[in-house]
Structure 1
Amino acid sequence: MTINDHLDTYAGQLVAEFTNEYVIDAEGAPPLPPAGDHAWRVRTEFDETPFNEVWNLFLDTVDTTQISALVIGYWGAEYDEHTADPVALLTGAASRFPKLRSLFLGDIVLEESEVSWIEHTDIGPIFAAFPGLERLDVRGSEGLVFEPVKSDALKTLRFETGGLPATVVRALAASELPALEHLDLWLGTRMYGGDVTPDELAPVLGGERFPALKHLGLENSEIADWLASALAGAPVVARLESLSLAHGTLGDEGAEALLAGQPLTHLRKLDLHHHFVGDALVERLRAALPGVEIDAGDQGAAGRENRFITVSE
């Protein structure tokens, strides 16, 4: 799987798009909907109008004081004629977004950039500039800097990567996020920087770091069997409502570990889609968890040599 389509909805709202079309031909660009009724995506295109010009026109054209959800799309890259630092632009305009609660940084699809080539900087200033932020999604990890942060408002944090650096997970484990309910980590592969080890994940799995956590996703991982074994005895699982090992390389070993571990009957959903578990073990999971919604779709052929994660390069 690759990421081929931009978001249609985000944070419960339809996405309205503001692109370089408005800079190139404002008169011919589509009419703009009411600012407060949509999530807004701002982006440019390869070797087209510099992102900062699109961004500045967006600030001047749309009533950003009404926006609660913002999506940042393609902002350029080092191989592009122009590039920008979206974090610097965002934080520099923080006072223009008093209602912002949800931010997606990097809604960039395959035709614009491979996920592991999306170039980031330090995202820490976002938390200081937007203390009321309740949701942050980040796609890509090249150059990503994330230091320990403190937020009493953040409820959802998601990293979509082909390889999540251990430095990010260590910083997350040292962060103070008492309201965090939903955490998704696409751990990826070592080939693209995914070097997370058991030591980095231990504070998350211990359950004390994020007392409000209800959903945990350890996804798109080449170590899915190890993750299943760790989750089988992880204290955090007992209070979760949903658990995901989707998009990864889960096989029979991992499924056996889930069956042999702590009860999972309290879960509402167990998401395993894109996996390499045999039919017999899938049926054993369903029989052992009759009240749990189990997504076991996109089943690959059994055998360790056949396994792959869905998003890497």
Structure 2
Amino acid sequence: MAISEHWTTFGGFQVRNWEPGQPLNHLENTIYRISVEYDDKTSWVEKLQSYLNTVGSGASRGLVVGMWGTDSEESATEALQALVAAKQQLPLLEALFFGDITYEENEISWIYNTDHRPVFEAYPNLLHYGTRGGNDLRFTGLKALKLQTLIVQTGGMSADTVRDIMQAQLPELIHLELYLGTEEYGASYEMADLTPILDGTLFPKLKHLGLKNAQNQDEIAQVIVNAPVLAQLEVLDLSLGILTDEGAQALLNHAEAWEHLQRLNLQHHFITEEVQERFEPLKPLIDLGDPQDTNDDWRFVSIGE
């Protein structure tokens, strides 16, 4: 399952496409996606400038950045720098998703990202942030004292990216989703790189944790059941990865550690029917949707290429 649809909501706002010349409506509950297509004669930076020149743009509470270049491997740096330069014109920005790009526009493994630190320095009031694409993705020296949501979607997350997030100052963070991916598409982290989040002190207000889309989903499941952070969570998301009976057994053997959750998401898994049945008494807490063929030797994360 690749990412086939754009965001329709983000950060509590409705998301609508925007093109130059269109008015900006309902900015109290709507944010706009600015994007280019391969045959566009207007660059993303030019479209952003048109947006900033549109009546009411200063009241924008969020933006969604779509395709930023007509070359599939174009770096995000120029688009990000333009957004940073617009900080005085977007004083109310609190929700931003950078890279709302579907697989039909560009495969996630082809997206060339950049260091997002400048955005957080330019917009200190951000509450909800997300990005897609792992190539060159960094969050060096990340400090966002109001941020509540961070979603990072990759087909393969580097150790450097993981370590940046594990060293971040995010005291208000409630919701964290990391799409970790596979070595084939750039994942180089080890389990030790994730351990700072496990003791529950790194992000003390965290309620929703997604360590997902991982080739080592079994290992993550085995570790998380003994992690102190689990006690503070309301939602644990281990979906989209290669979760087999090995990881499922670890969860079942330590059910007392997570029975307080409101939701345990295990969608897209490789758990046999026999082991799935052992979760039956714990439904509807458990989401075991989208089971994969356990007889197939080829096992894959949901979002890779």
1:121 aligned to which of 92, 114, 118: 114
**Superimposed CA distance per residue, residues 2-33 of structure 1 (whole angstroms, 9 cap, x where no aligned partner):** 112212222222212123xx3xxx4xxx5542
Q: Is the 8 A contact 1:77 1:119 kept in 2?
A: no
1:1-313 aligned within 5 A: 1-19=1-19, 22=20, 26=21, 32-48=24-40, 49-76=42-69, 78-79=71-72, 85-261=78-254, 263-287=257-281, 289=282, 293-303=285-295, 305-313=297-305
Q: 1:263 to 1:304 in 2, by over 3 A?
A: farther
In 1: Cα distance, 2:16 partner to 2:77 partner = 21
Displacement of 1:309 after TM fit? 0.8
Deviation at 1:80, TM superposition (A): 7.3
Deviation at residue 149 of structure 1 after TM alignment: 1.6
Does the 8 A contact of 1:259 with 1:285 survive in 2? yes
Runs of 4 or more off by more than 4 Å in structure 1? 77-84
Identical amino acids, percent of aligned pairs: 39
Give the partner amino acid of 1:100: L
Decide whether aligned partners of structure 1 residues 18 and 171 sit closer, same or farther in structure 2, where only a CA change above 3 A counts: same
The amino acid across from 2:145 in the alignment is D
Secondary structure of the 1:75 match is coil
User: Over residues 92-128 of structure 1, what are the superposed CA-to-partner deviations in whole Å (9 max), with x where a residue is unaligned?
Assistant: 0011111111110000111211011111121101111
Please identify, of 139-148 and 79-88, the stretch whose mean Cα deviation from structure 2 is larger: 79-88
| Secondary structure, aligned partner of 1:207 | coil
Q: Deviations over 1:12-66 (max 9, x none)?
A: 22212123xx3xxx4xxx5542433411111111141211111111110142221
Give, in angstroms, the shift of residue 303 of structure 1: 4.6
Aligned to 2:51, the other structure's residue is in SS state helix
Counterparts of 1:81 and 1:121, CA distance in 2: 11
Equivalent position amino acid for 1:33 in 2: N
| Structure-1 separation of matches of 2:260 and 2:74 | 53
Q: What is the TM-score when the length of structure 1 is the normalising length?
A: 0.91
Flag the 1:278–1:308 CA change in 2: closer, same or farther, 3 A.
same
Q: What RMSD in Å do the two structures reach over aligned CA positions?
A: 1.9
Structure-2 separation of matches of 1:82 and 1:250: 33
Q: Check the 8 A contact 1:216/1:244 in 2, yes or no.
A: yes
Q: What amino acid does structure 2 have at the position aligned with 1:284?
A: R
Unaligned runs of 5+ in 2: none
CA distance in 2, matches of 1:31, 1:77: 25
Query: Would the alpha carbon gap of residues 186 and 114 (structure 1) be closer, same or farther in structure 2, given more than 3 Å must change?
Result: same
Secondary structure of the 2:209 match is strand
**C-alpha distance in 2 between matches for 1:114 and 1:38:** 27
Structure-2 separation of matches of 1:283 and 1:82: 47
The gaps in structure 1 that reach 5 residues or longer are: none
SS in 1 for 2:179: strand
Cα distance in 1 between the residues matched to 2:291 and 2:222: 20
Paired residues of 1:156 and 1:183 also in contact (CA < 8 A): yes
Match for 2:183: what amino acid?
A: R
Q: Which amino acid aligns with 1:281?
A: V
